[in-house]
Amino acid sequence: MNRRYRKTVIAGNWKMNMLPSETKDFVTRLRDETADCKWCDIVLCVPFTHIYQAVKAAKGTKIAIGAQNCHQAAKGAYTGEVSCAMLADLGVKYVIVGHSERRAYFGETDESVNQKVHAALEAGLRPIICLGESLEIRENGAELDFVRTQLKLALKGIAPQSLKKIIIAYEPIWAIGTGKIATPRQAGEVGSAIRETLRSLYGARAARGVSVLYGGSLNKDNAEAMLAMPDVDGGLIGGASLDAASLNSIIKAADQ
């Protein structure tokens, strides 16, 4: 973390878990437990069906609500899809874009990720752009090039003044939901490569203001060591975000 230049962000990603009826209690509990949180931006990315309840329960608290996906078009004949304007109208502030599960199971490409980043910004949402290599790519030692390319493609055509709205999440696919976390050194190295790429695209000043999160089996026991890396500015948390106490422990580690 480097609080001098950028925000520490802890974002939960519920994925397709929890029920709408469980949302209010969870958010209320998290709100009470994080009331004295000073430094950390707290985001909870819930399924579309939970958004209304989540926004209502989080009103007036430090918790911002995010979505886990959006469609790139402003509106139209896209049955079953949800636009960024619809999310913004509900009070959503963040949206995860390009999660590896969406890339793997739902045909998300670097091009659609880029379109979604544009759409999110246009609607006033803050995109959390997910990047990360497979195990095969890491074993071939090609992870830095892979992540740099994903980043450049995701940011294609994004104006410098929009950069401050963007959050990057480095999530190595081999560490997601596997319990096999990257070492702080590995995460820090990719985090630095991400910042270096941002610097080459937008200049040092803009690049140093971007929060770069780590995601993949982050939990209360490993969060502190991970967040000690200068280019790890927070976490995107799946499994450990489903329990308010465990998410709160990570927030506490980030808020020190």
Query: Residues in the site for ligand PGA, rule: CB under 6 A?
Result: 13, 171, 176-177, 215-218, 236-240
Residue 188 or 215: the one with the smaller Cβ distance to ligand PGA is 215
Query: Please, what is the minimum distance in Å from the beta carbon of residue 236 to ligand PGA?
Result: 4
Q: Is 81 exposed, middle or buried (0-12, 13-18, 19+ CB in 10 A)?
A: middle
Query: Please, what is the minimum distance in Å from the beta carbon of residue 68 to ligand PGA?
Result: 9
Point out the catalytic residue in the list 108, 133, 143, 171: 171
Closest CA relative to residue 11, chosen from 240, 256, 201: 240
Residue 31 or 103: the one with the smaller Cβ distance to ligand PGA is 103
Q: What is the token pair recorded at 104?
A: 């793997």
Cα dihedral 204, 186, 2, 114 in deg (nearest 10): 50
Please give the backbone phi and psi of residue 96, each rounded to the nearest 5 degrees, phi first. Answer: -75, 135
| Residue indicated by tokens 């270096």 | 196
Residue 125 or 207: the one with the smaller Cβ distance to ligand PGA is 125
Catalytic-residue membership of 136 = no
Point out the catalytic residue in the list 50, 71, 99, 118: 99
Residue 133 or 207: the one with the smaller Cβ distance to ligand PGA is 133
Catalytic-residue membership of 99 = yes
Q: Are strands 234-237 and 94-97 parallel, antiparallel or unpaired?
A: unpaired
Please give the backbone phi and psi of residue 63, each rounded to the nearest 5 degrees, phi first. Answer: -90, 125
Cα(185)–Cα(72) distance, integer angstroms: 35
Query: Please, what is the minimum distance in Å from the beta carbon of residue 175 to ligand PGA?
Result: 6
Cα(78)–Cα(151) distance, integer angstroms: 27
Active-site positions? 99, 171
